[in-house]
Structure 1
């Protein structure tokens, strides 16, 4: 059974309050050289007393913990983001509790209730569904930060950080155009996601009406390797809508996430299409895992380190001062060159003609 503060006090011949002063460094000072302090420290050592830090934190109205809700640990973008956030908060003396939702609304509610019951100091949400779930729980005082999938439901009380999706999609499509591709297809995420609509919009804008049947160049799938695999078969396979319309197949693909691109690569292999010789690919996210694909992916990298740093600063500032206005900040992605687009990934910088801001 755990040793209590009262037992330490009795062993040392002092009051429980004095034990608290020694353990917590106050509020009243107990000099390091007094007999009282030495007796208390000896009693702590002899009885192996371990203070209940959680209870102390709750008494002080802070737990020094943050709750993070993430859709999937198998998506390398969310895995990198979670790990980077954990390092940032840890460096500031805060712990990060991560809960995986698998895009399940019941799980989102369950984990959010758990975070609030444990009195976390702040919550980070990374999916539009979790924003809806947080709103369903009703009024709450905990600061909330939404990262990446801000969704169509923008809650004024929540801070928001995300990459400029339209800009990144245009950047990816432009790079494929510089390789000479005129018919560029799109493997997109779920059509209900706001960021998917923004990335499709950038892909279409960059092509500036070059094809009058954009709908036949887009296939949707989950943000997963399986989702990308199925969408690629639907777009490039013998039963594709594009083929049925008698129009030429795309020679290049913009894929809205790295994790989908892994499935696209497998689908191309199954269909007998070489990457990049037959189909060039540029994806979105720029995760570390993308460079280990075969061939290594060219991708628009989200500035994960910067996003995590700003997220930490924004959330901790609102925890310290709840009266602060919620922050809203966007970030620009940069192109990371691999070989899936037709470039030699050993060549730096990116091909000539790419605007300086895109390099």
Structure 2
């Protein structure tokens, strides 16, 4: 590749100063239209591209925001060690529903906000707790991260240098902004809908409740059941469905015909697996058992039956995170924020709604 042309080359070709070249690209109102066109023509002839990094170095900023997401296909690897990345033939065999599809939708909102605000977006992903998060943090003015990508020590370390927003995590540090949704209220709506619209009383929660979002949903379920049942029905977990072995426990319930009337799943991905398991066993949904999810990913609309779920405002979450980062970049002394966005119930076929 030939040497990259510089601002000096453009200035020489256009017969102007380097200051005029800089103004032509970054403050065009300060340059006569004819002169600016001369500069642009010279740049085009030379293949010159203004360096955003150089401008950033001059003012201590890059002009970019970063978004770091976990990649379920990359295994944990120590710094300097190669990650175990599957080949294309392995990828083709994976169930696409195992991918964190909600991350893609949040990313879209983040990208739209960056575009509309004139900011560069840098994306990165890696294994949970991997070192790649530190690499992207050194290249951006602010960084948004998803749960499962970092340790608390990593978060606190990064937040000392640049503004940081964490999605769907508890308020862990006063130096970090947070964007989450009202998981408890969303789960309460699910229980209320099953209870009032369908007259269902025997309801079980499905999932291990490991992540922050899932724990919040489990707590919301238990609160709603306690309020509705007034202690008449044991909370979820009585059948062993709130453990990491929930799939095996559910298979046992199917085999012994001891299924509850409704299965409230901690996420859409869990609900889709539940639907598969029930379909393979010939269990009618929603005739024999009603199933609900949580998140509102696209796969739930394409399942058969279509999945009743609680929709997170993914695009709004991404946009809000980008705005919070931009505000902190503009005002480093500003206070981090903890934002909780509302959710909405989408009643579909899997619970018995049309």
Fold in common (TM above 0.5) = yes
- Structure-2 residue corresponding to 1:140: 160
Matched, 1:84 2:103: no
CA shift for structure 1 position 3: 1.6
Instruction: Report the 3-state secondary structure (helix = DSSP H, G, I; strand = E; otherwise coil) of the residue aligned with 1:182.
Output: coil
- Structure-1 residue corresponding to 2:349: 339
In the alignment, is the contact (CA less than 8 A) between 2:129 and 2:151 conserved in 1?
no
Cα RMSD of the aligned pairs, angstroms, is 2.8
Greater relative contact order: 1 or 2 (C-alpha under 8 angstroms, separation 6 or more)? 2
Q: Would you say how many aligned residue pairs link Structure 1 and Structure 2? A: 321
Give the Cα separation in 2 of the matches to 1:66 and 1:278: 49
- Structure-1 residue corresponding to 2:215: 197
Give the Cα separation in 1 of the matches to 2:187 and 2:112: 29
- Structure-1 residue corresponding to 2:10: 8
Which sections of structure 2, spanning at least 5 residues, go unmatched? Answer: 73-98
CA shift for structure 1 position 123: 0.8
Matched, 1:206 2:224: yes
- Structure-2 residue corresponding to 1:227: none
Deviation digits for residues 51-96 of structure 1, max 9, x if unmatched? 2233223323332221112234822222211122212221221232
In the alignment, is the contact (CA less than 8 A) between 2:109 and 2:317 conserved in 1?
no
Distance 1:217 1:13, change over 3 A: same
**1:25 equivalent among 27, 37, 44:** 27
Which sections of structure 1, spanning at least 5 residues, go unmatched? Answer: 223-229, 345-359
Moved over 6 A (4+): none
Matched, 1:95 2:120: yes
Give the Cα separation in 2 of the matches to 1:38 and 1:82: 37
- Structure-2 residue corresponding to 1:350: none
Q: TM-score normalized by structure 2?
A: 0.80
- Structure-2 residue corresponding to 1:126: 146
Give the Cα separation in 2 of the matches to 1:306 and 1:39: 42
CA shift for structure 1 position 312: 2.7
CA shift for structure 1 position 105: 1.3
- Structure-1 residue corresponding to 2:332: 322
Farther-moved stretch of structure 1 (200-209 vs 130-139): 130-139
